[in-house]
Amino acid sequence: MRLLLLGGTSEARDLAAHLVAGRVDVTSSLAGRVAEPRLPVGKVRIGGFGGVTGLRSALAGYDAVVDATHPFALGMSANAVAACAATGVPLLRLERPGWEPDETWHYADSHEEAAALAGRLGNRPFLTVGRQELARFLPSLRRHAVLARVVQAPELAMPETWELVTSRGPYTLAGETLLMREHRSDVLVTKDSGGTYTWPKMEAAASLDVPVVVIRRPAAPDAVRVVNTVEAALGWVKEQSCAFS
Ligand code: NAP
């Protein structure tokens, strides 16, 4: 069985490692957003497929798909649902659960709402929302002393009051506390990414009494089976393999 694994997440890399160890013919797919991505083991292809049409054509080379992209990578997930439905290729969504809600957090339904909220809550926001979303924070936070953390610098022209730090998780509580102390962050903004990779910033904010703005997850596409763990995804792949053997 030939499996296409839509990745770009730690779960996808973990799943790829298990599948390669189990001798499953898996190809991981990355969007190609960053210059030096963390590569999974096994076969890797990089770059978009060319929308639903391109993905439909690509699926001729695969028997099943696991979509393990980030919970905020809605476009890719929607394309996977459409292309798999059109071709009859079985699809599984592997999605890490969101963080357990905390009553002290301030929730926002969009990046723009999060920017406005952060602008009211503090003067020195710490933005951990990804390079692609930074532009959406400019209108509300142009004059704030923002610290923006990204994996790779954006092309965006940053205001003089903004400071950029490039790094990649996982992070530690000590490191996050030091970073937020040095910057004197007075509000943290994050997506509800879930998982443990970026959790220490939430602990650091709590210990420093810094308010947190959490951007809610967008609604996931319907009509797709969803599992939350790599183990469950492995079980599904095994079921599919039996169907193909
Ligand atoms: P997106 O908005 O959902 O996707 C936009 C387009 O990028 C897709 O239509 C597809 O292009 C291409 N693409 C996305 N993921 C791909 C993949 N795994 N393999 C091949 N093509 C892919 O995605 P995004 O939010 O920009 O995320 C891009 C990648 O970064 C994903 O792999 C995701 O898992 C990872 N990531 C995203 C976030 C986040 O917050 N969004 C955070 C961490 C990691 P075509 O239409 O041409 O096929």
**Segment 36-78, tens digit of pLDDT:** 899 999 999 999 999 999 999 999 999 999 999 999 999 999 9
**3-state SS class at 127:** strand
- Is 116 in the same domain as 80? no
- Strand-pairing partners, residue 108, are 215
- Is 114 in the same domain as 209? yes
- Is 28 in the same domain as 120? no
Closest by CA position to 145, among listed 116, 108, 187, 177: 187
Confidence at residue 103, expressed as pLDDT on a 0 to 100 scale = 95
Can you tell me the mean pLDDT for 232-245?
A: 89
Distance 135 CA to ligand 1 centre (A): 18
What residue's CA is closest to ligand 1, atom 40? Answer: 72
- Is 204 in the same domain as 143? yes
Model-level pTM?
0.94
Name the burial class of residue 227, with classes exposed (0-12), middle (13-18) and buried (19+) by CB atoms within 10 angstroms of its CB: middle
Cβ of 69 less than 6 Å from ligand 1 = yes
Mean pLDDT, rounded, of the chain: 96
Confidence at residue 221, expressed as pLDDT on a 0 to 100 scale = 76
CATH code at 78? 3.40.50.720
- Is 112 in the same domain as 167? yes
Q: Which atom of ligand 1 is nearest the CA belonging to 50?
A: 47
Structural domains in the chain (count):
2
> Is the pLDDT score of 244 beyond 80?
no
Distance 8 CA to ligand 1 centre (A): 8
Confidence at residue 223, expressed as pLDDT on a 0 to 100 scale = 81
Confidence at residue 245, expressed as pLDDT on a 0 to 100 scale = 66
Confidence at residue 11, expressed as pLDDT on a 0 to 100 scale = 95
Confidence at residue 35, expressed as pLDDT on a 0 to 100 scale = 86
- Is 130 in the same domain as 71? no
Cβ of 74 less than 6 Å from ligand 1 = yes
- Is 201 in the same domain as 162? yes
C-alpha 149/C-alpha 109 separation (Å) is 21
Can you tell me the mean pLDDT for 125-153?
A: 96
% of the chain at pLDDT higher than 90: 91
- Is 209 in the same domain as 110? yes
Range of the domain at 169: 106-215
At 13-33, the pLDDT tens digits run 999 999 999 999 999 999 998
- Is 203 in the same domain as 222? no
- Is 54 in the same domain as 28? yes
Cβ of 168 less than 6 Å from ligand 1 = no
Can you tell me the mean pLDDT for 99-105?
A: 96
Cβ of 8 less than 6 Å from ligand 1 = yes
> Is the pLDDT score of 242 beyond 90?
no
| Band of pLDDT at residue 219, cut at 50, 70 and 90 | confident
- Is 110 in the same domain as 48? no
Residue 47, Ramachandran bin (φ over 0: left; ψ between -120 and 50: alpha; else beta): left
Q: Residue 72: what are its φ and ψ, rounded to 5°?
A: -95, 0
- With contact defined as beta carbons under 8 Å apart, do 69 and 43 qualify? no
- Is 134 in the same domain as 70? no
